Structure 1
């Protein structure tokens, strides 16, 4: 049986978890936080998520894991048949990660510490997000799914990227980023209403106390040095 390593407060963990649930694959979860020796044994750089395959091979990086899942268990596909259309799906995923998720992550320490990010940081993040908005406006179709008529990995990926944008960029910048892309908020709401998304969210909320305890312990350890 597949083992998913990580924690439910992680959006990347939830991308993989959603894909596994969507494909109706049996798997078990191993709660493990970043920075631990246990995680380094299954993830070369200690990042969440990681999986252990049925053969005992460990893999990390969410996009790599998602590709492995798709190629190994193709019965319920999450990518189109056409190579060009598959590339278009991956293009949306990559742009959302580079120009939506990663810049928003720069604001996480300020949100967790209850402080405002410096204006220079906010402006830099805003500039990168603006590039992402321009690109996603050109690429997203919402007809009804993000890449067209077929539900794909891009729907899962962008939905969980948006959780980071909403939680950190929107609050620090006082900016409804998703509203800048016509159709994005409505699509995102529809995604959040699926049975799988609601299960993933319930598990995330249940995991949050342990995650916040872990974060506080890390902050205290850093301050004591």
Structure 2
């Protein structure tokens, strides 16, 4: 059985969790936070998520894990058969990660601490997001799914990328970023209302008190050095 290591407050962790649930793959969860030797044992960079496969091999990096799961458990596919269409799905995922998730993540510590990020940093993030918006406008179809008629890994990936974009946009940038992409908010609502989406959100909410206790302890440890 696969073991999924990490914590439910992580959007990348939830990408893998959603994938496993959608593909009906048995797995167990191992609650583990960053900064621990236990995590380093399964994730070389100490990043969440990581998995330990049935054969005992551990893997990290969400895109790597997604590909491993798809190749190892192909029965319920999340990528199209055509190589060109598969590449198109991965292109959406990569652009969403590089131009939506990663720049937004630069502000996430300010979200957790309830403080306001420096204006210069906000402007840098805005500039990168402004590059990603027209790219995703050109690539996303929402007919009804993000890459076209079939539900794919891009739907899962972008849904949890948007979780970071939403919270950063609303709390730090005063900007409804998703509204800039026609069809994105309606699609996001569909994703949230799915049975799997609701389960993962419930687990995320339930995990937040323990996660915030961990975050506060990390901040205090840093300040005391």
Using the size of structure 2 for normalisation, the TM-score is 0.99
The equivalent of 1:197 in structure 2 is 197
The equivalent of 2:86 in structure 1 is 86
* Contact residue 107 and residue 169 of structure 1 kept, 8 A: no
Query: What's the Cα RMSD here?
Result: 0.6
The equivalent of 2:77 in structure 1 is 77
Task: Please give the secondary structure, in 1, of the residue aligned with 2:215.
Answer: helix
1:180 and 2:180 matched: yes
Q: What does the per-residue CA deviation read over 1:152-202, in whole Å, with 9 as the maximum and x for residues that have no partner?
A: 000000000000001113320000000000000000010000000111111
The equivalent of 1:139 in structure 2 is 139
Task: Please give the secondary structure, in 2, of the residue aligned with 1:115.
Answer: coil
The equivalent of 1:43 in structure 2 is 43
Residue segments in structure 2 that go unaligned for 5+ positions in a row: none
The equivalent of 2:114 in structure 1 is 114
- Where in structure 1 do 4 or more consecutive aligned residues deviate above 6 Å? none
1:14 and 2:14 matched: yes
1:157 and 2:157 matched: yes
* Contact residue 3 and residue 28 of structure 1 kept, 8 A: yes
The equivalent of 2:95 in structure 1 is 95
Q: What does the per-residue CA deviation read over 1:96-155, in whole Å, with 9 as the maximum and x for residues that have no partner?
A: 000000010111121122221111111110000001101000000000000000000000
Aligned length: 225
The equivalent of 1:128 in structure 2 is 128
Using the size of structure 1 for normalisation, the TM-score is 0.99
Residue segments in structure 1 that go unaligned for 5+ positions in a row: none
Task: Please give the secondary structure, in 2, of the residue aligned with 1:46.
Answer: coil
Cα distance in 1 between the residues matched to 2:144 and 2:117: 36
Cα distance in 2 between the residues matched to 1:79 and 1:204: 26
The equivalent of 1:221 in structure 2 is 221
Cα distance in 2 between the residues matched to 1:57 and 1:116: 42
